[in-house]
Structure 1
Amino acid sequence: MEAAIVMQAKSLYLASPAERVRLIRKRIPASHLKELADSMHILQGRLLSILNLPSASVRRKSRQGAMLTTEQAERVVGLECLIGQVAVMVEESGDTIGFDAAQWVGEWLTQPVPALGGATPADFVETMTGQKLLSGFLARSRAGVFA
């Protein structure tokens, strides 16, 4: 059975930009970051660092049941879209048994990539431009451009 985070990530990836904007404007509970970090098999503090989110503020909001700012929510949605993109790519390849897209992205973010000049994908996740670059990189990887 597919994890809830991965199902949500696929929905976000397949959603129209207008649908994503509506979700971002509604904002996301700060507590969602703990669930996302757990699904990616990384520490919440590491996820906050990767997304350049203030740890103390996010933890306080989480305890209070508060929402992330629109800017923070946009970063989270962008990361979840990358997870969704990976999940869809693997599904389309036909070999999903034992594959966890969220965990794979969690590991991939920390690995230096020669095609990114030796930088890690995590170095690009905190901005929308960086997330678009990573999405394009994943699409080209699938097409075998970097194979």
Structure 2
Amino acid sequence: MKLNFSFAEVGEYVKEHYGKSVVLSRVGDKELCVTYQQKIVIKTFNVSVNIAIEDVRPDGVTIKYDGGLGVDTLISGALMVFKSAFSELSAMVIPEDGHRIRVELSEVKQAQKALEMLALKDVWVTGEGVSIEASLK
């Protein structure tokens, strides 16, 4: 089974749920670039982060991010805020060494039912968005 999410659809979801406008683009089969605007004092900057899909497991994925020293600091801070604000999801996002984040979908209540029936097989980036392949258990 394959699921496809367009970059526009993902961007709309992020804006609706987190209030942040993002632009996504393909870098390679397993890598995408996320760009957002960050206001610092009186100036607004475009900040880009490359996100690479490193590992896909039946119930989660590991990603690696790269955006330079300033972005790495922002991401570390954002993860701490995320874990504080959404304590019920804190077990889902696990920071690891080397700018990696392990996403444990089995820790998301809304995903647990789906994971009883489905196992992730692959995640890749297309010219239009992100595709996910899963199999029935």
TM-score by length of 1: 0.24
Higher helix share: 1
Please report the TM-score for the alignment, with normalisation by the length of structure 2. Answer: 0.25
- Select the structure that is richer in strand: 2
